[in-house]
Amino acid sequence: MAILKTENLTRRFGGLVAVNNLSFEIPEGKITGLIGPNGSGKSTTINLISGVLPASSGNVEYMGKRITGYAPHMVARMGISRTYQQIRLFEKMTVLENVYVARNLMYKSNLADVLIGSKRLSSEDKANEKKAMELLELVGLADKADELPKNLPYGYRRFLEIARALATEPKLLLLDEPAAGMNRDEFMEVMDLVRRLRAMDISVLLVEHTMEFVEAVVDHVVVLNFGQKLAEGTFAQIEKDPQVIEAYLGKEEL
Amino acid sequence: MLSIWIQNAVSGVAIGLLYGLIGLGVVLFFQTTNLLNFAHISSAMLGAYLCYMFNVTLHLPFVLAMVLAIILVACYGLLLKRFVYEPLAKREGGRLEFIIATMMLSVFLLNAVIVLWGGVPKPFPNVFGDPAKPLIIGSVAIQTHSLWVLGYVTVFVIALQSFFTKTMTGKSLRAVAQNQGAARLMGIDVEKMLTISFMLSTGITALAGILLAPAYFVSLDLGGGIIGIKGFAAAVVGRMNKPYVALLGGVLIGLAENFVVLYASSVYRDVITFAFLILFLVVRKKAEV
Amino acid sequence: MNRKSVIMLVILAAFLAIPLVDSNQYHIYMLDRALLNAMIASGLVALTGLAGQMSLGHAAFYGIGAYASAIVTKTFGVPVIVGVISAAVLCLVIGMLLSIPSFKLSGFYLSLVTISFGNIVWTVIVNWYSLTGGSLGLLGIQPIRIAGRAITRTEFFYLAAAVLALIYFVTTRMARSYIGRGLRAVRDDEMAAETAGIDTKRLKLLVFSLSAIYAGIAGALYAHLSTFLSPESFVQAESANFVAMSVVGGIRHMLGGTIGGLAVTMIPEMLRVKGWEIYYLMGSSLAILVLVIMLPNGLAPSFEKFIDRLAGIDRKSGKRQVK
């Protein structure tokens, strides 16, 4: 059963076609790898699914519902969350607040509740702050809750971004190169974290360059080249695919 | 009818070129600093008043007076960098702080001019010919001022273009405008280029102010908001990164103003600028800033 | 009650006692104006400090509020409170419209749109003679009345202080709630806020309307304080002045609007020395310029540090600042 399906998804930038007629499926409860040489359209695909970029043509279908053209916050509300290749945090807010604020979509309190300081608001605040704290514990940042993100080591900034992405309680998480720039220890930790996500019943689309990472965690791989789907299958199948080897040849080792 | 059209077109282009010159200064400044200087237009006022002082009060020849005025305003650009930009940058003052600081600077300079020269507009000497004796070609009367402006701006643009393409400093300045980080890696003294861009943008605006003075008088209007916003509007037409398109944008605004006055009412003259601004800002695809 | 609150209350009481001690009507009038300015600056603190949006056109809302309340009360003979409410509603609607460009533009581009907006509103005020009296101004606006007589300037002071307190309360409640967190997320990274499920357009709409309402209420109160309106009070320079107040006060501090509104209104008055009138505008703009350059965080954080020191609190525990 697919949680998300793209149909002939296309995105042009001027004369350049970044994603070209791409159709693929993300199976539910599994980790799907999205790999390909540089500039093959992986990040653009994530931007199209999360609604950050509008598609030039084609469709995105999530749990049987067409979500093409939805605003990003609506996509997030539907249960799709993401991280960025270039980490984007709320730099003037504390580590805790970075996660806490992503719980905003859970609130039922309205402006009136805020102004009178209603019971409903304070109980929602309490529950959401607790949940945010739990997520910080999950990624190992609980003791840094009151710090500003700029005081965190690089790898932890990524963990914070993942915690924020989890705060919206996604059913599908799009991870854009979560291990980029990490040292060995952090790399092992993030790999472990991604594995734990599967146990939490979260489907994952993983864009990653490090093949060690992909091999270790994914159930299924989609290979992109020049914005098109080149191959699809298990990692073992992909690894032997002559087309894939050719696409990567001289560019990156597989 | 046609002759009125031609007259309005010529004077619209001339005044527009000066708005465009101000816009060009805005673009050059924005490209290197990524900031808008809301005291930008004060340079035009300072230029006009200083030129007036040298020429009328101190009886220096006009061209010498103009050059001295531009040099002094460029030096003021240096002070602007040293005493406003640098302290703010050091204290991590953001764009908003720079906007407010430069706005207060423009209020300060307006009041300084009132203290030094009084608030009453002064007529600029007829160095560009007597407005009462226009050049008559058939039935068309053309102000000699417009022709002088065309001449000055043409010479200036040729000089600026050769500065950017022929001199090392000009080339370095362009490199900094395109990519500060890369320019630094290439060994360009970015700090020095920033200083030059402060001096260049204030100097250009001073020139525009001097050339505008016959139309606006040597008055506080030259340092007021409306002409400044016309410069910003021209810069926005040039998408904040194309100096010569900004010049053209100024021409468009100048022409549009003249024809609005001709066919509607002078009340709406300034509204044109704002219409231009909103139009060009809202139809932009996506703001980068 | 801790020592800090006691000190704050003492300062507040001292401030509120000024009109009782100083009976100079001009001084009290300037204090009234300062409180009105503080309302507008508080709105800009929410708009810019909290949500990262910029407006250099808020004099337009001040003007719309003033003329709306003046015209409504003059034309229909309704009580002032009805005029103030209609001013607030009109500013709410126009504030929502002004927030639309902010969906697409930010930073300098947005500030240029708001400048244009301010100038267009000003042009309308000057040229719509039949409604606004144009540059001649609008005369004979009814004052606020209690028990059948016009309110005194001292009474107006307490009324304005109460309204400002309400504004402070609303802004602070909002800033400390999930809405405030959302606004700060919009300020720090709009795209990341969107993908974290935050409806950034809705929040911008909210904060633009809120700051427009504050300015509109201040304008309406001003109309009934001065009973005369002239377009001169709503020129572009006033918009810049309001932003200067919020920056001088402290754009990221809840008290920034109040402190900045008071300081920037009173600084020129203090420099108005006999025989030196020609220098006072020069001096006050220079004073504000120097304040912005030397103290980009504004007066409020320094003020709070000072209070903390008086109360013997070390700086870290006194966490009232909105980061």
Contacts 24+ apart (CB under 8 A), A216-219: A216/A191, A217/A31, A217/A33, A217/A191, A218/A31, A218/A32, A218/A33, A219/A27, A219/A30, A219/A31, A219/A32
pLDDT in tens, B46-70: 999 999 999 999 999 999 999 999 9
Helix or strand (DSSP H, E) at B243: helix B243-263
pLDDT value, residue A249? 63
User: Is the CB of residue C103 less than 8 Å away from at least one CB of chain A?
Assistant: no
The CB-side HSE value for B145 (13 A sphere, CA atoms) comes to 23
CB atoms closer than 10 angstroms to residue A212: 11
Q: Which of A82, A90, A117 sits opposite C189 (nearest CB)?
A: A90
Query: Which tokens sit at C304?
Result: 């709070």
Taking the C-alpha atoms of residue C62 and residue C59, their distance in angstroms, rounded to an integer, is 5
User: Is the CB of residue C8 less than 8 Å away from at least one CB of chain A?
Assistant: no
What is the arithmetic mean of pLDDT over C89-106? 91
Question: Class of B2-283 per CATH?
Answer: mainly alpha
Taking the C-alpha atoms of residue C106 and residue C237, their distance in angstroms, rounded to an integer, is 21
CB contact under 8 A, A77 and C197: yes
pLDDT value, residue B223? 84
> In this complex, which chains have at least 3 CB pairs below 8 Å with chain B?
C
Q: Which chain C residue is nearest to residue B115, measuring alpha carbons?
A: C278
B interface with C, Cβ–Cβ below 8 Å: 36, 38, 83-84, 87-88, 91-97, 99-101, 103-105, 107-108, 111-112, 114-115, 225-226, 229, 232-233, 236, 267-268, 270-271, 273-274, 277-278, 281-282, 284, 286-287, 289
pLDDT in tens, B12-23: 999 999 999 999
Interface test mutation site (partner C, options B42, B80, B103, max chain C beta carbons within 10 A): B103
User: Is the CB of residue A117 less than 8 Å away from at least one CB of chain C?
Assistant: yes
**What pLDDT band is residue A254 in, cutting at 50, 70 and 90?**
very low
Question: Using a CB-CB distance cutoff of 8 angstroms, which residues of chain C are in contact with residue A115?
Answer: 170, 173-174
What is the arithmetic mean of pLDDT over C228-233? 94
CB contact under 8 A, C293 and B108: no
User: Is the CB of residue A183 less than 8 Å away from at least one CB of chain C?
Assistant: no
What is the arithmetic mean of pLDDT over B93-112? 86
Q: Which of A104, A117, A148 sits opposite C178 (nearest CB)?
A: A104
Instruction: For tokens 């980009």, name the residue.
Output: C296
Provide the 3-class DSSP secondary structure of residue A229.
Answer: strand
Q: Which chain B residue is nearest to residue C276, measuring alpha carbons?
A: B115
Question: Using a CB-CB distance cutoff of 8 angstroms, which residues of chain C are in contact with residue B108?
Answer: 282, 285-286, 289
Q: Is the pLDDT of residue C315 over 60?
A: no
Supply the DSSP symbol for A33.
E
Longest dimension (CA), chain A: 66
CB contact under 8 A, C195 and A52: yes
Q: Which chain B residue is nearest to residue C292, measuring alpha carbons?
A: B101
**What pLDDT band is residue C323 in, cutting at 50, 70 and 90?**
very low
pLDDT in tens, B160-193: 999 999 999 999 999 998 888 888 888 899 899 9
Cα angle vertex A89, ends A36, B33, to 5°?
A: 95
Taking the C-alpha atoms of residue A82 and residue A23, their distance in angstroms, rounded to an integer, is 20
Q: Which chain C residue is nearest to residue B224, measuring alpha carbons?
A: C237
What is the arithmetic mean of pLDDT over C255-279? 87
What is the arithmetic mean of pLDDT over B132-154? 87
What is the arithmetic mean of pLDDT over B130-137? 82
**What pLDDT band is residue A245 in, cutting at 50, 70 and 90?**
confident
CB contact under 8 A, A104 and C173: no
pLDDT value, residue B130? 78
pLDDT value, residue B113? 92
Taking the C-alpha atoms of residue A145 and residue C8, their distance in angstroms, rounded to an integer, is 30
pLDDT value, residue C237? 87
CB contact under 8 A, B101 and C279: no
Q: Is the pLDDT of residue C102 over 60?
A: yes
Interface test mutation site (partner C, options A82, A114, A122, A123, max chain C beta carbons within 10 A): A114
Q: Which of C107, C286, C293 sits opposite B108 (nearest CB)?
A: C286
Of C254, C23, C288, nearest to C153 by C-alpha is C23
Question: Using a CB-CB distance cutoff of 8 angstroms, which residues of chain A are in contact with residue C196?
Answer: 73, 76, 81, 101-102, 104, 164-165, 167-168
Distance to chain B for C199, nearest Cα, Å: 19
User: Is the CB of residue A121 less than 8 Å away from at least one CB of chain C?
Assistant: yes
CB contact under 8 A, C199 and A100: no
Taking the C-alpha atoms of residue C215 and residue C210, their distance in angstroms, rounded to an integer, is 9
pLDDT value, residue B241? 86
User: Is the CB of residue A176 less than 8 Å away from at least one CB of chain C?
Assistant: no
> In this complex, which chains have at least 3 CB pairs below 8 Å with chain A?
C
Q: Is the pLDDT of residue A144 over 80?
A: yes
What is the arithmetic mean of pLDDT over B89-117? 86
pLDDT value, residue B215? 86
Taking the C-alpha atoms of residue C236 and residue A122, their distance in angstroms, rounded to an integer, is 42
Distance to chain C for A147, nearest Cα, Å: 12
Regarding an ipTM greater than 0.90, the answer is: yes
pLDDT value, residue C316? 54
Distance to chain A for C173, nearest Cα, Å: 6
Question: Using a CB-CB distance cutoff of 8 angstroms, which residues of chain A are in contact with residue C173?
Answer: 114-115, 117
Q: What is the CA radius of gyration of chain A?
A: 19
User: Is the CB of residue C198 less than 8 Å away from at least one CB of chain A?
Assistant: yes
Q: Which of C48, C119, C282 sits opposite B96 (nearest CB)?
A: C48
Mean pLDDT of chain B: 88
pLDDT value, residue A251? 52
Supply the DSSP symbol for B218.
B
Q: Where along chain B do its domains lie?
A: 2-283
Q: Which of C174, C177, C195 sits opposite A76 (nearest CB)?
A: C195
Q: Which chain C residue is nearest to residue B239, measuring alpha carbons?
A: C109
Q: Is the pLDDT of residue C84 over 80?
A: yes
User: Is the CB of residue C185 less than 8 Å away from at least one CB of chain A?
Assistant: yes
Q: Is the pLDDT of residue C321 over 70?
A: no
Distance to chain C for A199, nearest Cα, Å: 22
Question: Using a CB-CB distance cutoff of 8 angstroms, which residues of chain C are in contact with residue A97?
Answer: 181, 184
Cα angle vertex B265, ends B261, B270, to 5°?
A: 70
Q: Is the pLDDT of residue A81 over 60?
A: yes
pLDDT value, residue A198? 87
Interface test mutation site (partner B, options C108, C187, C278, max chain B beta carbons within 10 A): C108
3-class secondary structure for chain C?
CCHHHHHHHHHHHHHHHHHHHCCCHHHHHHHHHHHHHHHHHHHHHHHHHHCCCCCCCHHHHHHHHHHHHHHHHHHHCCCHHHHHHHHHHHHHHHHHHHHHHHHHCCHHHHHHHHHHHHHHHHHHHHHCHHHHCHHHCECCCCCCEECCEECCHHHHHHHHHHHHHHHHHHHHHHHHCHHHHHHHHHHHCHHHHHHCCCCHHHHHHHHHHHHHHHHHHHHHHHHHHHCCECHHHHCHHHHHHHHHHHHHHCCCCCCHHHHHHHHHHHHHHHCCCCCCHHHHHHHHHHHHHHHHHHCCCCHHHHHHHHHHHHHCCCCCCCCCCCC
Judged by 3 or more CB pairs under 8 A, whether C touches B is: yes
Is residue A64 within 8 Å of residue A15, measured between CB atoms? no
Query: Which tokens sit at C233?
Result: 């009070």
Who has greater pLDDT, A64 or C107? A64
Question: Picking from C73-87, C100-114, C216-230, which range would have the lowest pLDDT averaged per residue?
Answer: C100-114
CB contact under 8 A, C106 and B287: yes
Q: Tell me the CA distances in angstroms from C147 to A163, C144, C151, one per residue in order.
A: 60, 10, 9
CB contact under 8 A, C196 and A88: no
Taking the C-alpha atoms of residue C34 and residue B199, their distance in angstroms, rounded to an integer, is 38
Range from B258-262, C71-75, C294-298 that averages highest in pLDDT: C71-75
